[in-house]
Amino acid sequence: MILKRISFFAFLLAFLFCFPFRVLGAENHEEAEKGLDVKEIIFEHLGDGYGWEVPFNHNARFPLPVILRAKDHKWFCFSSSELTELEEHTGADGKVERHLVPVVKTIKRDGKEYNFVIAKISSHKDKIVEIFPLSAEQQAYLDKKLADARSASDADGFPVIDGYVCVAGKYYSEYRPLDISITKNVAALFIVVLLVIWMVLGLANYYKKRDLRAPRKGMGFFELLVSFIYYDNIKPTLGDKAAKFAPYLLTCFFFILTMNLVGLIVIFPGGANLTGNIAITLVLALCTFIVTNVLGTKHYWKEIFWPDVPIWLKCPLPIMQLIEVFGIFTKPAALCVRLFANMMGGHMIVITLTLLIFILAAFGPAVMGGATVVSVLFSIFMLLLDVLVSFIQAYVFTLLSTLFIASAQESHDEHEAHVHADGESHAEAESELNKEKVLLSKEAAAVDFK
Amino acid sequence: MELFTPDFGLVFWMFIAFLLLFLVLAKWGWPVIIKMMDKRAATIDRGVEEARQAHEQLENARAEAEKYVQEARSRQAEMLRETARMKSEIIEQARAEAQEAAKKEMDAAKIAIEQARKEAELQFRTEVGRFSIDIAEKMVRSRMQDDKAQTELVNKLLDEIEKN
């Protein structure tokens, strides 16, 4: 059995070594010579998009609805497929290359013409902007700016100028409309929501049907997670109030966990980097902020504005109050950034490792072959680590939310009683935080290593 | 950069999606699951407790039964002993009674025999008396045939009476 496995891996490695030679033998070094815009590729993979890539096809997108409010407050809705076009051109060696390029979408309504385009050379890169032809005044301003920029960089390119967008070599003035399009991330969000609802209601229905019989297999595993979060985390921390906050915390956990894991899948339904996008984690942290502070007890607010410290720390100069109020905002901010940075970091490392192959291709086939083996092995390792990180980050987010909420739920007498007993749970939370820090530093080290 | 600056559209949809998810799950999902898990945990705890109690009760019952069996056995032995004693007693008693009855019977027989003997004696005596008188009469008659013998006898008898 083991021998079989070893021989399998040996075969795999041999295959990986051969592959680049064959590819390089067939193609010229054009790609490597051109140089890769690594940053561009990474952010294209991690970022949002108006369409969803069809698996294994770079030039096809599943169209998604675009919803916009133009400058004159009119709403527009159309398919994202109308914003791109497949452009073909024949290379010097007779090869046909296809690229997806943005085109201007023109809509006529009430005798007026509205033009939308996905901006490429603009401060709103890869976003839809409404474009207007330039007035004479704007043209003069733009010419001046362009001349400045071109003389500074000694090139004839099309520099990014604030408030203007360059489409096919021509500049227009731009307006970023209110954009609530169903983008790739939004669509993935809906898929995740449906997935979580399906899982949770599935388990709830199971219980309704089978009463007290324990679920098996997948559902049993799901229930294991629920009981792990509820009985090991929420219940001991919140006590009597566990039932009140459990729905929010459990929803948070499973939503984040599912988003993290779906984000690790490379192709459709996955492939959207949700938790590695700050908008998502911001909303989650904001929800915890609202739940913590809106439902906070009188004692919690008293601890903020009149804490139990020597009087000179709070009376003439409100030092403690300042720190506490600052703390209200830093706690959820930390939640937001922690989840975002961890997930985005993980994705970025995997993509960078993969890109390493193409970057090192410039040094010849042997180096590329070696790089391929190393990158693939490292990528697999990192992806596995990311599965772990997905769980840990969802858990840490829930754990810390629980702690924040619990700290805002303490009443006066409880606080008195807890003063001594709290040492332990604090130590526990701290050790958890330390673990987290170690993990973060490891990941940071991994990033630095690149 | 897009990743670091929250996009309004995404924030908007995320908020709606999360709120929707939360409302649906808070209404139909989590309370059911938590209630059921609590209920099942309670049921299992109770089951364990009940099993323990049942086991205890069984042990108790077994001990009780053992006790009863032991008691019954000892009572049985007691009864057997008692019966044996009673048996010998009854036999003894019967024997005594039989002896007594036999004795009584014998006594009665003895008395009857005595009576019969006395009656027979009496009868015999009268018979003998009557015989002797008859004999005497005959003798006397024979002797009285000569006068001398008669006088001699009378004298002799008179002498005898005088002597007495």
Nearest to B17 among A127, A193, A214 (CB): A193
Out of A179, A210, A242, pick the residue that ends a domain: A179
Q: Would B156 be classed as within a structural domain? A: yes
Residue range of the domain that includes A79:
54-179
- Per cent of chain A over pLDDT 90 is 21
Question: How many separate domains does chain B show?
Answer: 1
Locate the chain B residue with the closest alpha carbon to A250.
B30
Put simply, the answer to whether A282 touches B11 (Cβ < 8 Å) is yes
**CA A213 distance to own-chain centroid:** 39
Number of A:B CB contacts under 8 A? 122
Q: Would A12 be classed as within a structural domain? A: no
Separation of alpha carbons A440 and A448, rounded Å:
12
pLDDT band per the 50, 70, 90 thresholds, residue A305: confident
ipTM over 0.85: no
Query: Which of A182, A203, A186 has the alpha carbon at shortest distance from A254?
Result: A203
Residue numbers in A near B31 (CB within 8 A): 243, 247
Separation of alpha carbons A134 and B33, rounded Å:
61
| Distances from the Cα of A99 to the Cα of A33, A60, A359, angstroms | 19, 10, 22
Per-residue burial over A87-99, b if 16 or more Cβ lie within 10 Å, else e, is eeeeeeeeeeeee
Q: Would A142 be classed as within a structural domain? A: yes
Locate the chain B residue with the closest alpha carbon to A242.
B34
Chain A nearest-CA distance from B20, in A, is: 9
Question: How many separate domains does chain A show?
Answer: 2
Separation of alpha carbons A13 and A374, rounded Å:
10
The encoded tokens of residue A368 equal 């590329």
Give the best residue of B4, B7, B20 to mutate against chain A (max A CB count within 10 A). B7
Residues A135 and A250 in one domain: no
Residues A164 and A194 in one domain: no
Put simply, the answer to whether B33 touches A226 (Cβ < 8 Å) is yes
Put simply, the answer to whether A186 touches B10 (Cβ < 8 Å) is yes
Residues A427 and A351 in one domain: yes
Out of A184-198, B53-67, B149-163, least confident range = B149-163
* Whether the Cβ atoms of residue A223 and residue A215 lie closer than 8 Å to each other: yes
pLDDT band per the 50, 70, 90 thresholds, residue A390: very high
Q: Would A5 be classed as within a structural domain? A: no
Residues A175 and A188 in one domain: no
Separation of alpha carbons B25 and A194, rounded Å:
11
Q: Would B82 be classed as within a structural domain? A: yes
Query: Which of B18, B70, B63 has the alpha carbon at shortest distance from A197?
Result: B18
Residue range of the domain that includes B68:
38-163
Locate the chain A residue with the closest alpha carbon to B18.
A193
Separation of alpha carbons A84 and A104, rounded Å:
8
Residues A409 and A310 in one domain: yes
Out of A22-31, A233-242, B20-29, least confident range = A22-31
Nearest to A180 among B12, B18, B24 (CB): B12
In B, residues 24-83, which contact A (CB 8 Å cutoff)? 24-26, 28-34, 36-37, 39-40, 43
The encoded tokens of residue A283 equal 């909303």
pLDDT of residue A16: 54
Out of A179, A212, A246, pick the residue that ends a domain: A179
Residues A319 and A364 in one domain: yes
Rg of chain A, C-alpha, whole Å: 27
* Whether the Cβ atoms of residue A201 and residue B31 lie closer than 8 Å to each other: no
Out of A103-112, A324-333, B114-123, least confident range = A103-112
Separation of alpha carbons A128 and A425, rounded Å:
50
Query: Which of A41, A283, A125, A123 has the alpha carbon at shortest distance from B10?
Result: A283
Residues A94 and A146 in one domain: yes
Locate the chain A residue with the closest alpha carbon to B21.
A193
Task: Give SS3 for A62.
Answer: strand
Residues A83 and A117 in one domain: yes
Out of A137, A160, A179, pick the residue that ends a domain: A179
The phi and psi torsions of A52 (rounded to 5 degrees) equal: -115, 125
Look up the pTM and report it: 0.74
Residue type, A111: G
